[in-house]
Amino acid sequence: MANVQDVQAQIFEEINDPSNKIMLQVQKKQINRDEYLKEIETRCKKEGLNDEEAEDIVYLVDKSLWGFGILDDLISDPDISDIRLVSENCIRIKKNGKRMDAGIKFASKAEYERYIEFITNRNNTNVSIQNAAQVFTDKDSSKTDILRFSLVSDLCNTNSRPTLLIRKIPKVKKTFETLIKQEYCTPAQAEYLKKRWADGNGILVCGPNGSGKTTLVNALLESTPKDKSADIIQESEELFCDSHPEMIFRKVIPARNGSAIAYSLKDLARLALMESFDIIVVGEIKGDEAAELSYATYTGSQAMTTVHSNSAEEGYEKLIDYGLDAQPNRTREHFAKQLKALNTVVFVKNYKIKQILEEDGFDKINGNYIFKEVQV
């Protein structure tokens, strides 16, 4: 009778052998999942394993080929929002808002690098000198979450290893009712923001990385009036809304495999202006797309976006700085006036709304709008 460890090792050796092309066939959907797993079960029983032992190996094969292998349980855990692969010995997670060790490791550097390659192949992403840093989204592999991957190859890392951050975005959008229960916001804050957005005011959501900015934007999209057209522009596919009849979602297309063809946030924002949308939403402002957004608000479009910052005031200032970096011939006052319609600033931290500001006049001396805190 065969030893269960030996049978398992032999099966996974065959799976991981590049010459067998099993991984490649799975990625190209050339292997039927149910039929292949049935073959594995039959093989285990022929080797003399009992039902429980065969079932365990089938489960591991299923996780490895159609799930996420060693990370499968982490990705399935609803309390984990971020998974960071630093090396074969260092896997970190963010669970219930706190960062900690995942408690698992890869067997070797080679296995770690094979796993990274498995993720890139599954998502049809090529890592090269021209594309050493990649951001891509997987909407299909997880039943519960959209997965955003941020991959940096060993070419950029001093530890000679690729690093991978996996960000989980729930497919079931969190409504304001849910956010109130989770103490993300109060009922008064929710009603205030929904009304501001529905009434045509612009909203800037600020906060540190992973603070819940996208969560708030997603909830607010549901309050968009049905008689307005909206263009949602994003780098990663995190924003979604199925209830609006005229809400178009567009994503950045990075240059890949040496191709010069690419569409940036700036390109898509400029396209939105040409198409005369009532509302323009940019998932996150990181650079010169701020200038296009400011022009959109100045010409009458309602807007919403997010920016990384440590306070509400800093977020607004950062937006102006991005605009000045893109168009240094303009003045600070010029960009501030163009952003007038972005008149509501929300600061979130640790998955909680900390502050809401509302535009309350203009400071001609410093060339900035004055904001007052909203007490709700």
In whole angstroms, what is the distance from residue 111 CA to residue 336 CA? 51
In whole angstroms, what is the distance from residue 150 CA to residue 138 CA? 11
pLDDT at 257: 54
Question: For residue 99, what are the β-bridge partners?
Answer: 94
**Is the per-residue pLDDT at 74 higher than 90?**
yes
Helix H segments across the chain? Answer: 4-16, 22-27, 33-46, 51-65, 72-76, 109-122, 176-181, 187-198, 213-221, 265-274, 289-298, 312-326, 332-338
Q: What is the mean pLDDT of residues 253-259?
A: 60
**Is the per-residue pLDDT at 323 higher than 90?**
no
Question: For residue 87, what are the β-bridge partners?
Answer: 90
Q: What is the mean pLDDT of residues 97-109?
A: 90
Which amino acid makes up residue 236? Answer: S
Q: What is the mean pLDDT of the chain?
A: 86
**Is the per-residue pLDDT at 129 higher than 70?**
no
More confident residue, 128 or 187: 187
Domain ranges within the chain, ordered by starting residue: 4-66, 70-170, 176-373
In whole angstroms, what is the distance from residue 164 CA to residue 59 CA? 25
**Is the per-residue pLDDT at 358 higher than 80?**
yes
247-251 and 353-363 as β-strands: parallel, antiparallel, unpaired?
unpaired
What is the architecture of the domain spanning 70-170?
A: 2-Layer Sandwich (3.30)
Under the banding of pLDDT at 50, 70 and 90, the label for residue 1 is: low
Q: Residue 21: which residues within 8 A CB-CB, separation 6 or more?
A: none
The separation between the first and the last C-alpha atoms of the chain, rounded to the nearest angstrom, is 70
In whole angstroms, what is the distance from residue 65 CA to residue 118 CA? 9
Q: What is the mean pLDDT of residues 358-374?
A: 80
Record the tokens describing residue 353, joined without a space: 């709304």
Are 66 and 83 in contact, with CB atoms under 8 Å apart?
no
pLDDT digits (tens, 9 = 90+) for 202-226: 999 999 988 889 999 999 999 899 9
Q: What is the DSSP letter of 367?
A: T
pLDDT at 163: 94
| CA neighbor of 295 nearest in space, from 314, 274, 318, 264 | 274
Q: Torsion angle of alpha carbons 60, 61, 64, 70, nearest 10°? A: 20
Phi, psi of 198 (to 5 degrees): -65, -30
CATH 3.40.50.300 for domain 176-373, yes or no, is yes
Q: State the helix-helix crossing angle for 265-274 and 289-298, rounded to 10 degrees.
A: 20
Other Cβ atoms within 10 Å of 351 Cβ, number: 18
**Considering all CA atoms of the chain, what is the largest pairwise distance in Å, rounded to the nearest integer?**
86
pLDDT at 77: 93
pLDDT at 308: 94
pLDDT at 157: 84
In whole angstroms, what is the distance from residue 374 CA to residue 344 CA? 10
